[in-house]
Amino acid sequence: MRTRLLAALCLLAPTAALAAKDPRCAGKPAARAARFSDTALKGTSAAERYAAYIQACALDDVVALTQGLVRFKTVSSEAPAAKNPEMAAMGRYLETWAKQHGFAFRTVGERDVFELSWGEGEPLLGLVFHGDVVPAAAHEWKRPPFKPVLEKGRLYGRGVEDDKGPIASALVALAMAKDLGMKPQGRVLVIIGNGEESDWSGMKKYADTEPKPTHVISVDSGYPVMAAQSGFVAWTLEAPVGAPAATPKEGTTARAVDVTAGEFLTQVPGTATLKLSAVKGQTLEAVLAQVKAAIAAEQPARKDLKADVKREGATVVLTTHGNAVHSSVADEGHNALWDLSAVAARLPLEDNGIAAMLRVVAKRFDGDHHGDKLGVAYKDTLMGPLLVAPTVLRVKDGAVSLGINMRRPQGRDAPTFNASLDAAAKRVGEDSGGQVKESSGRYVGDPHVADTSGPLVQTLMDIFKRQRKAPDAVPGSIRGGTYARLFPRAVDFGPAFPNEPYTGHAPDESIALETLDLSTRMLAEAVHTLAISPAPDAKATP
């Protein structure tokens, strides 16, 4: 049966489901499923009929459900799940969907986790996701982030890739299996945590206290199978802005009065802005001319430099433009803060805290993704190098702060890594004449490497290799952190394909319909293989 299932799943190219709609998909689920029954498709196995049903009819359902989920503004950093009305509304939406399709639904904790369940007995397969999303600053988006739209074969909206599209793929795959009368040989759980982008405590409690499924698949990163995750690091530098000098130093023409870069810690800044005033005895016209000259001087060294400057009231405003991406793939974007610091370094600024912080960025971060300039760089054979991204720069309550996100591989234990941060903090202090220091709140998470023994990884790798015609693919590592690290032997499986841009956390987040289609088909095969007709060893308790 498995051989026939594999063949059936390969019958259509990924783009075939995007062509003209199959007439067998018209009508309600019962009517559709009847067209893929053993009576309608005589001589085919249940596995083949399931594959054909998914291939022909799943995509439209996945797109519609994704759109429904994206419309809920479930930004966990704005309000935790327990106090978030949008999260409550999404929970009601999912509960209604579950009842309509014959699944059990429950809320765990203060809306920390939504759990949909199919089947009876001990949990056999857990599919893990998150329902919260990161903020979506309207000024960075070309489209309304919570009004999903389809354009040229892509679905746009906050969460379509991270993580509501994957939720929809799983739910539709399970619903279609149920439509055909299939039953799992243990319970299949869809586990949706609601604090992945902010506070993991609720999901951690769930993972620690609830019965653990034999197999756990998180769909929150990439393919083929991601079995290792970097440790998450949050590090903050700060400096007092200081009062204006009563008598400006000779040659000083401008004072930095405000600076802004980035929207949140896990996104590389797409824009960075510096506001300048003229010091005593100087004019804004002179400051404006100097900024324009600095941009022109920096341009030959930075072919991708995009900067503009204008007068705004009693200030001159310099803005640089980069490419905002998830901080775990910072080297795939363009950090606007780097450019801002480089242009600022060419200006005769009064030596206050903002100017000192920008000098630190220029000296210790500009052009360096891996911490070489900070003196913290190292790498691991499996997980690659340390990743360092300055992401949030703000002035508040008389101080300027710089939030830095790092993703650290295995290879250094926590005490050794913390010691390297201590040394880096000392360096930036020396660079700034003691103005810039480390702030409180350092967080250093540990890297995670899953136990890949057993049938789970082999099954998922087999699915990926065949579907993508990639016989040499091997399990990989991600710089991000997903809920997979909370469950023994759990791994990530999708949704991002290798060598394709990942747009989660970025403005105008999107996912190709082709990706949704293939991801749903691969997830459906995983469900069938691991839960509906598992081999004896696949059902073994870990």
Q: Are 259 and 275 spatial neighbours (Cβ–Cβ below 8 Å)?
A: yes
Alpha carbon 189 to chain centroid, angstroms: 22
496, containing H or E segment: strand 495-496
Which of 61-70, 80-89, 218-227, 444-453 is predicted least confidently?
444-453
Over range 105-109, report the average pLDDT: 97
Mean predicted confidence (pLDDT) in 192-199: 95
The answer to whether 337 and 361 have CB atoms below 8 angstroms apart is yes
Determine the 3-state secondary structure of 303 from DSSP.
Answer: coil
Is residue 540 predicted with pLDDT exceeding 60? no
Residue 1 clears pLDDT 50, i.e. is over it: no
| Per-residue pLDDT at 109 | 94
pLDDT band at 106 (very low <50, low <70, confident <90, very high): very high
Residue 295 near residue 305, CB atoms below 8 Å: yes
Q: Given pLDDT bands bounded at 50, 70 and 90, which one contains residue 536?
A: low
End-to-end Cα, the chain, rounded Å: 25
pLDDT range class, residue 535, cuts 50, 70, 90: low
pLDDT level of residue 246 (50, 70, 90 thresholds): confident
User: Looking at residues 187-206, what average pLDDT do you find?
Assistant: 96
User: What is the mean pLDDT of the segment spanning 77-103?
Assistant: 97
What is the sign of the dihedral through the CA atoms of 36, 38, 41 and 47? positive
Burial call 45-56: b when 16+ CB within 10 Å, e when fewer: bbbbbbbbbbbb
CA distance 63 to 133: 18
Ramachandran region, residue 27 (left: φ > 0; alpha: ψ -120 to 50; beta: rest): left
CA angle (64, 66, 71) in 5-degree steps:
100
How far apart are the C-alpha atoms of 385 and 452, rounded to whole Å? 22
**Structure confidence at residue 20 (pLDDT):** 64
- Assign 501 a pLDDT band (cuts: 50, 70, 90): confident
Q: Percent of the chain having pLDDT more than 90?
A: 89
What's residue 4's pLDDT?
37
CA angle 306, 311, 316 (to 5 degrees): 75
- Asked if residue 17 has pLDDT above 70, the reply is no
Mean pLDDT, range 26-44, rounded to an integer: 94
Q: Greatest CA separation found in the chain?
A: 92
pLDDT score of 362: 98
User: pLDDT band at 12, cuts 50/70/90?
Assistant: very low
321, 307 contact by CB (below 8 A):
yes
> E strands within 231-372?
231-240, 254-261, 271-278, 307-312, 315-321
Residue 369, CA atoms < 13 Å, CB-side half-sphere: 15
Count, residues in the chain: 542
Angle at 188 between CA 67 and CA 61, to 5 degrees: 25
- Residue 499: what pLDDT? 87
DSSP annotation of 8: H
Give the pLDDT of residue 493.
97
Does the pLDDT at position 33 exceed 80? yes
Q: Region 376-398: what's the mean pLDDT?
A: 97
pLDDT (tens digit per residue) in 323-342: 999 999 999 999 999 999 99
Task: Bin 253: left if φ > 0, else alpha if -120 < ψ < 50, else beta.
Answer: alpha
For residue 129, pLDDT beyond 90 = yes
**Topology of the domain covering 2-229+447-533:** Aminopeptidase (3.40.630)
Tokens of 393: 């720069």
Mean of the pLDDT values across residues 490-507?
A: 92
Of 59, 13, 2, nearest in space to 176 by CA: 59
* Strand-pair partners of 394: 401
In 3D space, the residue among 336, 326, 329, 267 whose CA is nearest the CA of residue 304 turns out to be 336
> What is the pLDDT at residue 405?
98
- pLDDT exceeds cutoff 90 at 212: yes
pLDDT in tens, 132-173: 999 999 999 999 999 999 999 999 999 999 999 999 999 999
Determine if residue 43 is left, alpha or beta; phi over 0 gives left, psi from -120 to 50 gives alpha, anything else beta. left
**Cα gap 3→442, rounded to integer Å:** 52
* Alpha helix positions (H), 246-398: 284-298, 336-344, 353-364
Residue 43 and residue 41: Cα distance in Å, rounded? 6
Where is average pLDDT lowest: 17-31, 172-186, 402-416, 433-447?
A: 17-31
CA torsion angle for 123, 93, 60, 67 (degrees, to 10)?
A: -120
Name the burial class of residue 208, with classes exposed (0-12), middle (13-18) and buried (19+) by CB atoms within 10 angstroms of its CB. Answer: exposed
Is the torsion defined by CA of 170, 176, 178, 182 positive or negative? negative
Average pLDDT, the chain: 93
Nearest to 71 by CA among 18, 115, 136: 136
Distance CA 182, CA 475 (A): 30
Calculate mean pLDDT across residues 416-438.
97
Instruction: Return the domain boundaries, the chain.
Output: 2-229+447-533, 231-444
224: cis peptide before it, omega within 30°?
Answer: yes
CATH code of the domain occupying 231-444? 3.30.70.360
Give helix 414-431 / helix 353-364 axis angle, nearest 10°.
120
Amino acid at 217: I
Residue 3: per-residue pLDDT: 40
Beta-bridged to residue 333, according to DSSP, are none
